[in-house]
Amino acid sequence: MATELQNLSAYNPETVPDASNMHFAVVVSEWNPEITEKLKEGACGTLLRHGVKPENITVVYVPGSFELVYAAKRITGSIRTDAVIGLGCVIRGETPHFDYVCAGVTQGFSALNAEGDIPYIFGLLTTNNLQQAIDRAGGKYGNKGSECAVTAIKMAALACDFK
């Protein structure tokens, strides 16, 4: 469903499992920090609202969105985490660089999910301009970071159901 038809921050809290004993890693791109910091705030705020203890949220920064995949993979080998949330923002420019970065991160997160034992949540904004990113990072369409946190909680609970 297109974002313009549904607010990214809108969800029924009653459908979110108890997250009080869960651990999460949030990997954040430093590129486009005016956007990615808001995504991080949305994700961490939502995790906290659903009972995750502050000490059970690990935030790691990487230089750009392409590096999200590497950090997401490496962090699972070094700390306990029930899910990893990758947050980044790529805004289309004048070169095909946008296409390569978006495709690489998408394929990387898909591979991590196919091979991994925990869920890896794809929180990469891929927008045509800065305004579209602002609209999805706490603006008129809500906050993709919040949506990713809800997804992470639900998928971590699902993963526990299948252990």
What residues are labeled active site? 97
CA atoms within a 13 Å half-sphere pointing along the CA-CB vector of 154: 13
Cβ pair 112, 95 in contact under 8 A? no
Tokens standing for residue 93: 């420019």
d(CA 147, CA 144): 5
Number of H helices, E strands in the chain: 5, 6
Q: Which residue has the tokens 């299948």?
A: 162
